[in-house]
Amino acid sequence: MTLSRRGFIKGAAGMTLALPYLESVPLLADDSVVAGNSGAPAPLRYMNVFFASGIGKHRETGWNASGRGDSFKLGTWLKSLEPFKDQIVEIRNTFFRPGAHRGLPQYLSPYQANGQGEARNKIAPGGPYTIDQVIADAWMGSTELHCLALGTDNAVKPQVDQTAISWRAGAAVPRLVNPGEAFDSLFDGPSRRAQTRSILDLVREQTRSLESKASHLDRQRLDEYQNAIRDIERKLEIAERDRPAGAWQPSLTEPDMKRPTGELPTMPEYQRLMLDIALLAFRMDKTRVITFMFNNESSERTYPHLGLNAGHHGISHGTGGPEAFAKVTQYQNGMLAEFLHKCRKVDEGDGTLFDHLCLHYGSDMQNGGHSGADLPLLLIGGACGRMKGARTIDGGGHPISHANFGVLHMLGFDHLEHWGDVAEPVTI
Among residues 102, 92, 88, the alpha carbon closest in space to that of 403 is found at 92
pLDDT at 105: 85
Distance between CA atoms of 80 and 52, rounded to whole angstroms?
Answer: 19
Q: What are the pLDDT digits (tens) for 329-363?
A: 999 999 999 999 999 998 887 889 999 999 999 99
**How would you write 203-270 as a 3-class SS string?**
HHHHHHHHHHHCCHHHHHHHHHHHHHHHHHHHHHHHHHHHCCCCCCCCCCCCCCCCCCCCCCCCHHHH
**What is d(CA 278, CA 290) in angstroms, rounded to the nearest whole number?**
7
Whole-number Å distance between alpha carbons of 41 and 87:
20
What is the pLDDT at residue 104? 86
User: Cβ neighbours of residue 175 under 8 Å, at least 6 residues apart?
Assistant: 149, 150, 151, 163, 164, 166, 291, 293
Q: What is the pLDDT of residue 255?
A: 22
CA 423-425-427 angle, 5° bins? 155
Instruction: List all residues 6 or more positions away from 251 whose beta carbon is below 8 Å from its beta carbon.
Output: 155, 257
Question: Is the separation of the CB atoms in 95 and 364 below 8 Å?
Answer: no
For 202, residues 6+ apart whose C-beta sits below 8 A from its C-beta are 11, 12, 13, 15, 17, 195, 196
Cα separation of 232 and 312, whole Å? 27
Q: Hey, where are the domains in the chain?
A: 1-40+197-256, 42-178+263-413
Do 128 and 122 contact (CB within 8 A), yes or no?
yes
pLDDT at 24: 61
- Per this entry, what is the length of the chain? 428
| Torsion, Cα of 410, 411, 413, 414 (10° steps) | 20
Q: Is 146 exposed, middle or buried (0-12, 13-18, 19+ CB in 10 A)?
A: middle
Q: In what order do the strands lie in the sheet with 16-18?
A: 16-18, 8-10, 33-34
- Number of other CB atoms surrounding residue 137 within 10 Å: 14
Residues of the chain with confidence (pLDDT) below 50: 1-5, 27-38, 114-125, 189-196, 241, 243-261
Name the 3-class secondary structure at 103: coil
- The secondary structure of residue 12, as a DSSP letter, is G
Q: Are strands 167-168 and 171-172 parallel, antiparallel or unpaired?
A: antiparallel
Domain 42-178+263-413 falls under CATH 3.40.720.10? yes
Tens-place pLDDT, residues 38-93: 456 788 999 999 999 999 788 899 999 999 999 999 999 999 999 999 999 999 99
Structural element, H or E, at residue 362: strand 357-362
Q: Using alpha carbons only, how large is the chain's radius of gyration in Å?
A: 22
CA nearest neighbour of 271 among 31, 77, 122, 50: 50
Q: What is the pLDDT of residue 101?
A: 67
